[in-house]
Amino acid sequence: MSEREDFLRVAGLAKEAAATLAPLPRAPKDAALHAIADALVERSAEIVKANEADVTAARENGTAEYMIDRLSLDEGRIAAIANAVRKVAALPDPVGEVVRGTVLPNGLELRQVRVPLGVVGIIYEGRPNVTVDAAALCLKSGNAVLLRGSSSAYNSNTALVHVMQEALAATEIPADAVQLVPGTTRESAKHLMRARGLVDVLIPRGGASLINSVVEESTVPVIETGVGNCSVYVDADADLDMALDILINAKTQRPSVCNAAETVLVHEAVADAFLPRALEALKAKGVTVHGDERVRSYSSDVVPATEDDWYAEYLSLDIAARVVGSLEEAVAHIRTYGSGHTEAIVTASQQAARRFVAAVDSAAIMVNASTRFTDGEEFGFGAEIGISTQKLHARGPMGLPELTSTKYVVTGEGQVRG
């Protein structure tokens, strides 16, 4: 059987499973998630052994240590993944929720209700925890899932999916509702991207190159996620102590994630008071600042910023810095270079905050808070499948409701249209 034939077989099984899964009530879905969580813990040694093969290969290939850390699993991490599955089970079931309802003048009862998307494809990079997180969120929202992780985690993902499928086999949920896309070649990913009719929606999770590739090549509808060139704007009326705390947290608390700050914009009215302190604090945290001429005048440690720096999603201890003459100039910078993810303003002026919120076109706007809060769990959603930076269907952190569509249910008493 060819790789494509194998993919079509697996996708067909997922589509059949989705039809069985969609009408099921909450209880069997929750029971299945608890069965998965228990199985992950019970079979953690088997999963760790498979993961060791991936980690060994990654080291032999010279993979960066931070990537190896993302790839690595141990019993503690597996226990945490299992606990995350249990948290998903505890969340409200979005399926069947009435989004709106009314009685029309002709007596028809109209309801718009949430329904599963169907078959959800996920393409993601070398983080095997996503394999379980995505499966749990899709199952809870009544969807089957086709998982296509990176080749660097293939052994780990194979073991995880095998454990989940065997756990599902003892429940009311079809084991075929969780599938790993066969193969490790780029062609295997293309099979998923071109499976229109078998796959209802595709969600890429990873860096800019992965997301762009999926958006450009997929014939399946795509929910674009993740790329985060996030900015912190320090306004003329900012509390500078607060601004410094927010900037340091947004940049350094976890620099390799999409909601970390990559740019700081400082109003010229507070530049003399703020930038020397900020540059010193960033230096103490190991951050390299790429600054414009005004920023460079405060420290010889600042390197010249290029046009590319304003666009950069560094995902590292680097940040671009610029002095602006007004809030409007800060907004113009963000609209030119930003990725539409998250921006923050630090200000004591309610008028400035309102202007910034109204003018900036991003999925999340923080007023006097760190960009790091753009996260499904931090927003109280319990978990997320990703952070959407597009405008159709879903925007911002995507929880369970964002993994559903809707349909209209119209109930009458024999009405006919005249």
Q: Is the dihedral of CA 179, 182, 184, 188 positive or negative?
A: negative
Please check whether residue 385 lies inside any domain of the structure. no
Please check whether residue 418 lies inside any domain of the structure. no
**What confidence score (pLDDT) does residue 1 get?**
73
Q: What is the pLDDT of residues 38-96, one digit of tens each?
A: 999 999 999 999 999 999 999 999 998 878 988 999 999 999 999 999 999 999 999 99
Selected residue with higher pLDDT from 69 and 236: 236
List the CATH number of the domain containing 52.
3.40.605.10
**What confidence score (pLDDT) does residue 386 get?**
86
Same domain? For 50 and 156 the reply is: yes
Same domain? For 202 and 312 the reply is: no
Contact predicate 136/34, CB 8 Å = no
Q: What is the pLDDT of residues 363-406, one digit of tens each?
A: 999 999 999 999 988 998 877 888 998 888 889 999 999 999 99
**What confidence score (pLDDT) does residue 210 get?**
86
Residue 397: DSSP 8-state: E
Contact predicate 118/23, CB 8 Å = no
Distance, in Å, from the CA atom of 17 to the CA atom of 179, rounded to the nearest integer, reads: 10
Please check whether residue 416 lies inside any domain of the structure. no
Cα 218 to chain centroid distance, Å, stands at 19
Q: What is the pLDDT of residues 175-211, one digit of tens each?
A: 999 999 999 888 999 999 999 999 999 999 887 788 8
List the CATH number of the domain containing 323.
3.40.309.10
Q: Which residue type sits at 221?
A: P
**What confidence score (pLDDT) does residue 227 get?**
80
Q: In degrees to the nearest 10, what's the CA dihedral of 206, 209, 211, 213?
A: -140
pLDDT confidence bin for 250, thresholds 50/70/90: very high
For the chain, give the percent of residues with pLDDT over 90. 85
Same domain? For 399 and 271 the reply is: no
Query: Residue 410's beta-bridge partner residues?
Result: 110
> Is pLDDT of 126 > 90?
no
- The token duo for 153 is 């985690």
Give the DSSP per-residue string, 230-262: EEEEE-TT--HHHHHHHHHHHHHSSTTSTTSEE
> Is pLDDT of 256 > 90?
no
Using CB atoms within 10 Å of the CB of residue 103, give its burial: 0 to 12 exposed, 13 to 18 middle, 19+ buried: exposed
Rounded to the nearest integer, the mean pLDDT of the chain is 95
Q: What is the pLDDT of residues 298-314, one digit of tens each?
A: 999 999 999 999 999 99
**What confidence score (pLDDT) does residue 141 get?**
97
> Is pLDDT of 125 > 90?
no
Quote the domain boundaries for residue 212: 3-224+392-411
Q: What is the pLDDT of residues 14-37, one digit of tens each?
A: 999 999 999 999 999 999 999 999
Same domain? For 155 and 297 the reply is: no
For the chain, give the percent of residues with pLDDT over 70. 100
